[in-house]
């Protein structure tokens, strides 16, 4: 049932004979229970509870049309958000932690809801509308591909730690190298290569522990966009700020996911119900800072191989900036249309401006500045 058909139903039933724009809450409750709306009982109960929370006993039916339309569709409107905020006290007060008799998968879904979402209404909304299909395939597929590529190169080079010191490593068609800027695919495919087992393990762990829950809640399109935006921003930032350096590893995308999630937790600290959140926040920041410090050490520590400098660390920082800007906008817009968010268009404009600047820089700046880049392998 769409907006127009619901309005027609209200008019046909003469629920508002004086055309005041309002109907009684009890009348509306009878309407939704007596007509077949494509909602499950839990959502119907939530909708009726919101309607009955009005102190005057009447509800603006245009707003209820928005509510029903949003509950039928996969995205919620701003009207739904306002009604949720106004009627929250009428919703069931028992949290999801009190739900009895849940299976293993449903308990995992509940765990994800409390890990990612800061509001109990959002957690209940996600819990009851979550479906296991489609599964969170993007982060799992990227991680699996990175592991396979690492194993192949490890076996080929017979080297599992600090692979970048091997003279044959930089000859890979996946690595971003400043001498191969014209091969545009390298600005993304470098995410499948890693310095060694330690970097791969760190990135894979964060991708599975943070990326998969984020993908379950926010969907494959949003999280893949955020991850790839961090990866692309990482290589482009290196091409601008560290013009001699190659880039390997998926740290740009990983730091985009992690920084977005951590920023969202900080901004919604009171509402987050994940256990030991302060301790986990400190540990995450320590681990991420240690990884950046390690990357800085590898970039500048001797001995440097004859083929040129070691991979840059600027991709980590660029990914974090993408996460705090674009990522935070995505995570704060749970189940709302991004195109309706003014901040989303501002972020897209800023990112598009950066892309255009980086493209012109890579086309013209290297020759104009006479950059002394190492010869491509």
Looking at the chain, how many residues does it have? 377
Residue 316 a catalytic site member: yes
- Say which of 218, 261, 316, 333 is annotated catalytic: 316
Residue 180 a catalytic site member: no
- In sequence order, the 6+-apart residues with CB closer than 8 A to the CB of 316 are 234, 251, 252, 255, 288, 291, 292, 295
- Say which of 251, 259, 307, 312 is annotated catalytic: 251
The terminus-to-terminus CA distance of the chain in angstroms comes to 61
- In sequence order, the 6+-apart residues with CB closer than 8 A to the CB of 230 are 252, 253, 254, 255, 256, 257, 318, 319, 322, 323, 327
Of 97, 136, 93, 133, residue with least CA distance to 114: 97
Of 311, 324, 377, residue with least CA distance to 350: 324
Q: How far apart are CA 301 and CA 310, in angstroms?
A: 9
**Max CA-CA distance within the chain?**
85
Of 86, 73, 89, 90, residue with least CA distance to 29: 90
341-371 burial, b if ≥16 CB within 10 A, otherwise e? Answer: beebeebeeebeebeeebeebbeeebeeeee
- Please give the positions annotated as active site: 251, 316
């Amino acid at each position: 049932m769409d907006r127009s058909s619901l309005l027609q139903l209200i008019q046909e039933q003469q629920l508002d004979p004086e055309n005041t724009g309002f109907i009684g809450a009890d009348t509306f409750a009878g309407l939704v229970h007596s007509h077949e709306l494509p909602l499950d009982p839990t959502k119907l109960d939530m909708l009726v509870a919101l309607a009955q929370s009005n102190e005057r006993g009447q509800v603006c039916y245009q707003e209820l049309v928005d509510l029903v339309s949003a509950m039928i569709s996969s995205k919620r409107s701003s009207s739904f958000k306002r009604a949720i905020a106004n009627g929250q006290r009428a919703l069931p007060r028992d949290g999801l932690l009190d739900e009895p008799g849940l299976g293993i998968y449903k308990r995992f879904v509940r765990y994800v809801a409390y890990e990612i979402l800061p509001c109990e209404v959002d957690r209940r909304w996600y819990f009851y509308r979550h479906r296991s299909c489609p599964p969170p395939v993007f982060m799992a597929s990227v991680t699996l591909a990175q592991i396979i590529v690492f194993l192949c190169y490890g076996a080929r080079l017979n080297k599992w730690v600090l692979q970048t010191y091997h003279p044959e490593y930089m000859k890979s068609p996946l690595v971003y190298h400043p001498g191969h800027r014209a091969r545009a695919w390298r600005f993304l495919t470098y995410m499948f290569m890693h310095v060694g087992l330690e970097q791969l393990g760190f990135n894979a762990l964060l991708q599975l522990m943070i990326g998969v829950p984020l993908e379950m809640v926010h969907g494959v399109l949003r999280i893949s966009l955020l991850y790839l935006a961090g990866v692309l921003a990482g290589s482009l930032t290196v091409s601008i700020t560290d013009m001699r350096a190659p880039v390997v590893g998926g740290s740009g995308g990983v730091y985009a996911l992690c920084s977005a999630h951590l920023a969202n937790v900080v901004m919604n600290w009171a509402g987050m119900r994940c256990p030991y959140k302060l301790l986990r926040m400190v540990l995450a920041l320590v681990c991420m800072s240690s990884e950046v410090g390690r990357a800085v050490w590898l970039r500048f520590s001797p001995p440097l191989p004859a083929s040129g400098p070691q991979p840059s660390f600027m991709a980590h920082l660029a990914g974090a900036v993408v996460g705090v800007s674009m990522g935070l906008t995505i995570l704060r817009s749970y189940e709302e249309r991004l195109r309706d968010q003014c901040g989303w268009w501002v972020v897209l404009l800023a990112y598009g401006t950066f892309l255009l600047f980086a493209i012109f820089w890579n086309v013209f700046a290297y020759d104009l500045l006479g950059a002394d880049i190492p010869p491509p392998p």
